[in-house]
Chain A
Amino acid sequence: MHFFNVIRWIAWKDLLSELRSRENISSMFFFALIVILIFSFSFSLDPKTSKELMPGIIWIAFGFTGIIGLGKSFLAEVHNDCMEYFQIVPAPKGAIYLGKFVGNALFMLIVEIILFPMFILFFNLDVLEKIPMILLIFVAATIGLSALGTLFSALTVQIRAREVMFPILLLPLAVPIFIGAVEATRGVFSGDPLPLYLDWIKLLIVFDAIFMVVSFWVFEFILDY
């Protein structure tokens, strides 16, 4: 019970802090908005090309937006030595990781859900009836990115070159997530039958599970001696 309470407390704290400061969400949102605007003015896409290119454009925006948000995830914990409190508090370190992960995944999903209608609007996407499947892909990819991002944010937060190190560590490992997300999104946009892109969704789920389990286990060694 204490385990789940710790997750709830951490996620509650992160969401409440973000709701009040809006530091992360606003920087994530504006970055993604700029990406949408640049791409929408760079290409005038016909519907067929649009279906081919849009998955890549969407995941460039979401991926780099995620990097901005996730990279700052543990910065609030350094201020006033809060990270130290995580070390000495008699709470399972894995629960602390999961609490941070839940908060990060929710931030990313909120930004994605706000931004996706803008993609529809700017690129004339005709995907309204496919939204449940698109949401499923967003959730699956966001879980994987947040799982990795939360771990590497904790790992790099105390080092001087964290802004360089964070993407260097995150991006290579996040490649399967990006490939799975782009391919699955392309399948949905192209109107392919589910079996044709189901394997990509399965790939996302498998990597989600791997990243979650490994990060959960490794986090204790990052936080503790």
Chain B
Amino acid sequence: MAAIRGIELSKSFRHFQVLNRVSFEVKEGECYALFGPNGAGKTTLLRILATLHRPTSGRFEISGYDGLREKMKVRESFFLISHGSYLYDDLSVLENIRFAIGLRGGNPTHPEIKRALDRVGIGAFASLKSRHLSAGMKKRLSIAKAMLVRPKVLLLDEAYASLDERGVDMMNLYIREVTQEGTTVFITAHDRAKAAEVAQRAGVLNRGELRELAISELLTAHALF
């Protein structure tokens, strides 16, 4: 069964067409990596899936729910790790996590939060105000939140951005674990080699068109776009 399905998705900003009838499917438990040059529309596509942008035409489904008509069900299904950290500077790491998960209806215990923070390598900073975190630590914190939410679909924009080498390995380990448990992961990235370690399928978005790629092609092609 397809966990994510985009059907003829188009998106224009005024007269600039970013996506042109893009269709794709990502199966349950699969990791799909999306590549493309800057400004190709990767983030726009991801934000459509995350119900942040409305497509100009076309439709999409997440976990079988219609993205335009059943937004609440769709939002219950996915978790987005984006450029924004969604953190409040005056709250501690722990308080930020409690708040973010609390809004989703979750109530993780202190040991559960501590365990997730330890796994992403920021357990020692649980009581630190989030204003003191670096960009990489904020990204790790977002991964810890995703670990606690356990979504059916994980959307990762610029999956490896801001992460150091160990952070990238930790991210890939996490993606491998959750896909084995049945979570579907949709990532946008620039690092082909790293994405190829976890992705089962890939696509290149360029000039509004999506071209499917084999993973082997991802590693061997001289230039994707």
Contact = CB atoms under 8 A, between A and B. Distances in A.
Interface in B67-96: 71-72, 75-76, 80, 82-91, 95
Most buried by B among A20, A88, A224: A88
A78 to B, nearest CB: 10
B88 A88 contact: no
Contact of B100 (A5, A84, A85): A85
Given A82-B86, A84-B84, A5 B91 contact: no
Contacts, number: 71
Interface stretch (B25-33, B49-57, B111-119): B49-57
B104 interface: yes
Given A88-B80, A91-B105, A13 B89 contact: no
A145 B70 CA distance: 34
Contact of B51 (A10, A21, A87): A87
Chain B interface category by residue count: 20 to 34
Contacts of A82: 84, 86-88
Main secondary structure of the interface of B (DSSP, over half): loop
Given A17-B91, A20-B90, 13 more contacts: A12-B99, A13-B91, A16-B95, A21-B90, A80-B84, A81-B84, A81-B85, A82-B87, A84-B52, A84-B82, A87-B51, A90-B75, A96-B103
28 contacts: A5-B105, A6-B102, A6-B103, A9-B103, A10-B103, A12-B99, A13-B88, A13-B91, A13-B95, A20-B90, A76-B88, A80-B85, A80-B88, A80-B89, A81-B83, A81-B84, A84-B84, A85-B86, A85-B100, A85-B103, A88-B50, A88-B75, A89-B100, A89-B104, A90-B72, A90-B76, A225-B51, A225-B54
Interface of A: 2, 5-6, 9-10, 12-13, 16-17, 20-21, 76, 79-82, 84-85, 87-91, 96, 224-225
